C-alpha cells in the first residue's frame, strides 16, 4: 500500500498495564461480573426471605391446627392456660435469645474496635529498628501499583514505538487513536501525524488561542473543565481535553482523520486496527 493509516484503541495499551474494555480483565468485563455477582446475591437474599416467610406461615398453621384439635376433643379449656403460658415462655425465650445475640454482636463489635485501636497504638509505638512491617507494606503497595498502574506510571509499549518509527520513516501516513493515555505522544509520535479523537489526560488546551500543552502529569477534569492554569501566550484559561459521553469529537482531529484517508485515493490505502 502507498498510503497506510492506523487506528488504535484500548488493545494497543494493555501491554502497558492499562486495562481495555472487553478483554478478560477489561473495565466492562469486570463491571459485568460485578453486576452478575450482585444479582446472584440479591436472588439468594430474596430466596432466604421467602423461605423464612414460608416457615413462619407453616408454624402458624401448625399452631392453629394444634389448638383446633385440643378444642375439638374438649381439652382446650384445661390446656388453654398451659398452652398460652408455654407460648409466652417460648416468645420470651426467643426474645431473650435475640436480645442476647444482639448484645453478643455489640460486644464483639466493641472488642473488634478495641483490638483495632490497640493494634494501631502498638504500630505507632513500635521501635524504628523493626522494619519488617514497613517492608511488607511497601511490597504490597509495589505489587498493587505494578498490577494496576496509573496513566502517569504507564510507559509506551513496543507497538507505540514501532508506529512512531514507521511514521518517521514515512511508511505510515497517519495514526488515529481513541485512547486518552497519551502513550503515542510519549513515544515521540508527532502531534501533526496523529488524531486524538477522545482527548488526552495529559493535554490541556487554551480556550482562547487553542494552544495545546502536553504535561507529564494528569491535568484532571472531564468534558473541557478549567484546570486552573493559564496560557503563557495569551493568558487564556486552560481546559482539559478528555471527552465525556455526550461531547462531540474535536473538530480539528476529526476532520484530519478522514482527510488523511481520502488523500491516498480509493484502493491506494490500507487500514490496520488495534482494538480491545
pLDDT digits (tens, 9 = 90+) for 157-180: 999 999 999 999 999 989 999 898
Averaged pLDDT score across all residues of the chain:
75
Higher confidence at residue 59 or residue 110?
59
Quote the cell numbers at residue 35. 453486576
Catalytic residue at 198?
yes
Ranking 6-15, 66-75, 147-156, 180-189 by mean pLDDT, the lowest is 66-75
The Cα–Cα gap between 177 and 159 comes to 13
Judge whether residue 141 has pLDDT over 50: no
Ranking 2-16, 185-199, 225-239, 249-263 by mean pLDDT, the lowest is 249-263
Judge whether residue 129 has pLDDT over 90: no
Catalytic-role residue among 184, 198, 233, 235: 198
Which of the four pLDDT bands, split at 50, 70 and 90, describes residue 113?
A: confident
Start-to-end CA distance of the chain, whole Å, equals 25
Which of the four pLDDT bands, split at 50, 70 and 90, describes residue 82?
A: low
Quote the cell numbers at residue 238. 486552560
Higher confidence at residue 241 or residue 74?
241
Amino acid at each position: 500500500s502507498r498510503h497506510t493509516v492506523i487506528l488504535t484503541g484500548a488493545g494497543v495499551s494493555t501491554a502497558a498495564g492499562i486495562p481495555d474494555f472487553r478483554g478478560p480483565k477489561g473495565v466492562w468485563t469486570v463491571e459485568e461480573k460485578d453486576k452478575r455477582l450482585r444479582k446472584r446475591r440479591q436472588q439468594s437474599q430474596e430466596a432466604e426471605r421467602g423461605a423464612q416467610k414460608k416457615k413462619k406461615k407453616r408454624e402458624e398453621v401448625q399452631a392453629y391446627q394444634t389448638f383446633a384439635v385440643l378444642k375439638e376433643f374438649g381439652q382446650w379449656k384445661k390446656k388453654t392456660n398451659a398452652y398460652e403460658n408455654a407460648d409466652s415462655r417460648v416468645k420470651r425465650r426467643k426474645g431473650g435469645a435475640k436480645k442476647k445475640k444482639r448484645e453478643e454482636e455489640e460486644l464483639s463489635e466493641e472488642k473488634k474496635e478495641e483490638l483495632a485501636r490497640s493494634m494501631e497504638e502498638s504500630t505507632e509505638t513500635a521501635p524504628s529498628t523493626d522494619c519488617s512491617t514497613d517492608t511488607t507494606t511497601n511490597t504490597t503497595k509495589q505489587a498493587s501499583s505494578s498490577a494496576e498502574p496509573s496513566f502517569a506510571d504507564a510507559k509506551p509499549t513496543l507497538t507505540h514505538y514501532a508506529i512512531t518509527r514507521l511514521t518517521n520513516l514515512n511508511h505510515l501516513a497517519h495514526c488515529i487513536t481513541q485512547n486518552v493515555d497519551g502513550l503515542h505522544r510519549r513515544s515521540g509520535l508527532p502531534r501533526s501525524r496523529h488524531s486524538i479523537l477522545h482527548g488526552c489526560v495529559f493535554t490541556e488546551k487554551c480556550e482562547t488561542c487553542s494552544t495545546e500543552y502536553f504535561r507529564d502529569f494528569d491535568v484532571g477534569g472531564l468534558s473541557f473543565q478549567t484546570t486552573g492554569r493559564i496560557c503563557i501566550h495569551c493568558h487564556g484559561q486552560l481546559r482539559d481535553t478528555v471527552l465525556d459521553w455526550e461531547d462531540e469529537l474535536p473538530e480539528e482531529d476529526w476532520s484530519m482523520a478522514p482527510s488523511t484517508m481520502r488523500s491516498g485515493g480509493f484502493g491506494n490505502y490500507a487500514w490496520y486496527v488495534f482494538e480491545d
